A and B are shown apart, each in its own frame.
Chain A
Amino acid sequence: MKIYGVAILAACYFAGLIIGELLGSLFGVKGNLGGVGFAMLFFILLTDWMNKKNLMTEDYAAGISFWTSLYIPIVIAMASIQNVNAAINSGAVAIASGLVATVLSFALIRFLISMLKEEGG
């Protein structure tokens, strides 16, 4: 039953969101703080454990993969419902931070990979 896979995903989603809500009230913020990240973590741990115990069937996985394949389409829909006209004048901040962060990340990767090589001998 594919729906079991989707239900497991939903259970982890809510488990994560509950943590996010708790953190939100802890810091006095109305929103959900990090719930999605915690949900991902729970989902990795649970499905990993299920895989080891052979509880994960191909059917469950198919239910999950359907949602994974919808991720990018959903992101595109998300982009299309933003207030772009209000943002367009301040677009420079997006270009600058994206550009500089990426260029500096290349340097960081080079450094980390060179450390890796030293470690490996």
Chain B
Amino acid sequence: MDAVFQMFLKNGFVLSFLMVGIIMLITQFISQKILRNKIPGVALAIALGLVLASFGGKTGIADIPIFSGMALLGGSMLRDFAIVSTAYGASMIEIKKAGWVGFVSLFVGVFFNFIVGVIFAIIFGYSDPGDIATLASGTCTFIVGPITGNAVGASSEIITLSIAAGVMKVLIVSVVTPLIRSMVGIESKTSAMVFGGVMGTVSGVSAALASINPKLVPYGALTATFYTGIAAILCPSVFYPLLKWILV
């Protein structure tokens, strides 16, 4: 028995693939069979990841030796590498098709969400510009929170909150959008691009558009991918220095 345990311990990184695979299997099942695709499996899986983290300490579940491989899989190196790969297939020509409204929606969307995040961080008593920028980046989309957080040296606690803010967004976008689609006016390719450009969360936008009209998914996902890229540039390298300059 101990030999088996030692084997898992030695192969922690490989074990992390198995772990995440099981997490996704469970959450996909819940998403498809029980919730009937109302909530994307991705949002559930991230939420389950956060729940699992609560069984550990400072580095979440990776504090438990057998699950230490999760720290490598979920660490900033592979994370950043995988994010960059998601930009494949997003071409400048496609984004030009969205016209100036699509383009403007990207920048307005990132700026707007960041500002809302800043306001709430301040309301809730955060005063460190790094903490505020991290929370606000997570409000933009869940992946940019940790990117900014690592850049400015924010604590894991703040990074967790930034992920949670982003997951909240995925949940609302995927559940609420289909209910109010006529009110918002998402019916054409261009309007789908505006939707992705302002909301930014690829998983949320894709899930929402899939239930409105599956043909619109690539258009919303395209601008949402651009949104992630622009937010990953602007949040740490423009908004954070600005925020620091204003607050300090």
Contacts and interface: CB of A to CB of B under 8 A. Distances in A.
A87 B81 contact: no
Interface residues of A, number: 80
Interface SS majority for chain A: helix
Contacts of B162: 94
Contacts of B217: none
A34 B234 contact: yes
B219 interface: no
Contacts of B232: 34, 36-37, 40
Nearest to B138: A94
A62 to B, nearest CB: 11
A53 interface: no
A43 B87 contact: yes
Interface string B80-95: 1111111111111100
A37 B231 contact: yes
B105 interface: yes
Given A74-B78, A82-B53, A98 B139 contact: yes
B83 A97 contact: no
A36 B81 CA distance: 8
A31 B180 contact: no
Contacts of A84: 50-51, 53-54, 60, 160
B178 interface: no
Given A34-B232, A34-B233, A97-B117, A77 B49 contact: yes
Interface residues of B, number: 119
B207 interface: no
Interface string B192-219: 0011001100010000000000000000
Contacts, number: 324
Contacts of B71: 81
A111 to B, nearest CB: 10
A71 B50 CA distance: 17
B184 A109 contact: yes
Interface string B127-159: 000000001101100110011001111011111
Interface of B: 16-17, 19-21, 23-24, 42, 45-54, 56-62, 67, 70-71, 73-75, 78-93, 99, 101, 104-105, 108-109, 112-113, 116-117, 119-121, 123-124, 126, 135-136, 138-139, 142-143, 146-147, 150-153, 155-169, 172-173, 176-177, 180, 183-186, 190-191, 194-195, 198-199, 203, 228-238, 240-241
A-B pairs with lowest CB-CB distance, top 5: A98-B168, A37-B233, A77-B74, A79-B49, A37-B232
